[in-house]
A = this chain, B = another copy of it.
Amino acid sequence: MTPSARPSSKKDIRRENEKLILEAAEKVFAEAGFGGATMQLIADMAGLPKANLHYYFPTKESLYRRVVQNIFHDWLMAADVFDAAPGPVEGLGAYIDAKMEISRRHPAGSKVWASEVMHRAPVIQDYLETTLVEWTEGRMAVVRRWIDEGKMDPIDPRHLLYMLWATTQHYADFGHQIETLNGGQPLSDTQWEAAKHSVKTVILKGIGARPSG
């Protein structure tokens, strides 16, 4: 009865099932919103009985909280490209690429975040007030440094960040509208490249980014 080397230990089962549930929950919360999502729907998509969800996550809200926390973590990871860069062309260019890629690969996560914020962040307000505030101030300092060094125009760093978030996340959050305006077809590889190129072109030129070196 002791767990053998290979097959699933109890910890493995827990890890596996939690992953199944969290992936299903992200999709369902994104498509239906917190209110519209039902534990039954999530259970069906995860291929587990509804009661099992309550075994791993005591309440619907605790499950939702974990989903949003995971998304928030992914968002912050995408910002590492920002710091090491010598200037805005490299730093903002890479940041836009990274955020566009997240919008493409994980649109559900972006939607859950958007929905949470639109409803006045009932679950993750503390994260907004601590982690996000700190992160934002750190990046604003980087932008100000670039401005001081003459590497870009004196654009308000705060509103520049908002433009970056807005333009990149729009491709996830409003993906359905974009798809409809694309004749009902998802964007092709070429069209995604064109989107990235357009965003980078307009923003980098718009802030007067001067290539360093």
**A residues with CB within 8 A of B:** 30-37, 111, 114-115, 117-121, 125, 128-129, 132-133, 136, 153, 155-156, 158-160, 162-163, 165-167, 169-171, 173-174, 176-178, 180-181, 194-195, 198-199, 201-208
Q: Are B31 and A176 within 8 A (Cβ)?
A: no
Residue of B nearest to A182 (CB): B158
* Contact indicator B34/A176 (Cβ below 8 Å): no
User: A171 contacts which chain B residues (CB < 8 A)?
Assistant: 162
Nearest chain B CB to A108 CB, angstrom units: 10
Question: Counting chain B CB atoms within 10 Å of each CB, which of A31, A177, A180 scores highest?
Answer: A177
CB distance A34 to B31 under 8 Å?
no
Would you list 7 pairs from A and B whose C-beta atoms are within 8 A, ordered by A residue?
A: A33-B34, A111-B118, A114-B174, A125-B180, A159-B199, A162-B178, A206-B207
This chain's copy number in the assembly:
2
Q: Is the interface of A mostly helix, strand, loop or mixed?
A: helix
How far does the alpha carbon of A202 sit from the alpha carbon of B162 in the complex, in Å? Answer: 12
Q: How far is the CB of A30 from chain B (nearest CB, A)?
A: 7
Report the separation of the CA atoms of residues A166 and B169 in the bound assembly, to the nearest whole angstrom.
8
